[in-house]
Amino acid sequence: MSTVITEASGNIAILRLNNGVINPISYELAENLSAAVAALKNEADAMLLAGGEKFFCIGLDLPSLLKLSRAEMTDFLYKFHHVTFDIFKISMPAACVLSGHAIAGGNILALACDYRFADCNDKKIGLNEVKLGLPVPYLPDMILRQVVGDREAKEMIYTGEFISFGEANKIGLIDEIYSLQELEDAVIEKIAKVAKLYKPAFLAIKENRIEEICYKYEKNYKLKNEIFLDCWFNKQVRRLLEKAAEKF
C-alpha cells in the first residue's frame, strides 16, 4: 500500500499520509508524496494535505535514514526538500489539516501549504531540530519567518520547543481551529471557496507572495543541504539522533 493516498472531494484533491500511526517521512513516503503532488497538475483546483489523528507526521524516519550513506542521504534530502518546495509553489490553493502532532518534518510539510487548520485538542507542533544538533532546513526557516515574523520564528527555532495548536493559532502559524469532528469538512469548504476565485488572479497573488523565497531557495539550496548533511554525519549529532530514533 502506498504511503500517500490520493482521494477527491469534488474538485479538491486530498493527499493523505499513510505511513503508520506516526507517519514518519521515509524515502518511500518522500517519493510517493512527490509523485502524488506532480500528478495533481490540471487534475484538481485545490489540494488538501492530511495525516493521522495521533500524528499528522512525526518528522523524518530516523531509524531508516540513519542507515543511509552520505550519498544516499543527499539524495533523500534533495527529494524531501524538493517535494516541500513543489507543495509551496503549487499552482493552486493548498491547505493542511492537522488532526495530530506535526513535529519537525511534519511541521515543515504543513508550512509548505498556504493554510494550516487544526483541531482543538492539545496536540503539538514545532521544529525541534536544534535539540538534535541539526539546523532547521533553509526553505522552512524562510517560510516560518514569513508566516509568523522573525521574533516568533527565532523563538521557535532557537529553543526547539513544541507549542500547542492553540499557541500556534495565536502567533499565526495555524490559521483556524475547529473541533475534530468538523475539521476536515470545514477546511474543504473554505479551500473550495478560494479555488472558485479567478485562477490567473489568484496565481499572480500567490507568486508575489512566494517569489523571494523561491529565488533564494533555488539559488542556495545545494550549499544549505551540505551544511545540514555535515551536521547529520557529525559523531556527536549521530548519538543524539540514534537516541531519538529509539522512540520510534
Pairing state of beta strands 101-103 and 4-9?
unpaired
**37: which 3 cell numbers?**
503532488
Is 80 exceeded by the pLDDT of residue 195? yes
| CATH number for the domain running over 4-195 | 3.90.226.10
Query: Average pLDDT in the 45-57 region?
Result: 96
**139: which 3 cell numbers?**
526553505
Which pLDDT score is estimated for 42?
80
pTM > 0.95: yes or no: yes
**4: which 3 cell numbers?**
500517500
Which pLDDT score is estimated for 121?
82
Q: Provide the angle, in degrees to the nearest 10, between the axes of the packed helices 105-112 and 138-148.
A: 60
Give the helix/strand (H/E) hosting 104.
none
Q: Using alpha carbons, select from 60, 59, 47 the residue that is nearest to residue 16.
A: 47
CA distance 228 to 148: 23
| Residue that has been written with the C-alpha cell 515543515 in this structure | 108
Q: How confident is the model at residue 41 (pLDDT cuts 50, 70, 90)?
A: confident
CA distance 15 to 33: 8
Summary mean pLDDT of the chain: 96
Which pLDDT score is estimated for 126?
98
Pairing state of beta strands 124-126 and 163-164?
antiparallel
Count of alpha carbons within 13 Å of 35, Cβ hemisphere only? 12
CB 156 within 8 A of CB 122: no
Q: Where are the domains of the chain?
A: 4-195
Is 80 exceeded by the pLDDT of residue 1? no
Q: What is the pLDDT of residues 135-190, one digit of tens each?
A: 999 999 999 999 999 999 999 999 999 999 999 999 999 999 999 999 999 999 99
Q: Using alpha carbons, select from 116, 81, 79 the residue that is nearest to residue 99.
A: 116
3-state secondary structure 50-68: ECCCCEEECEECHHHHCCC
Pairing state of beta strands 12-17 and 115-119?
unpaired
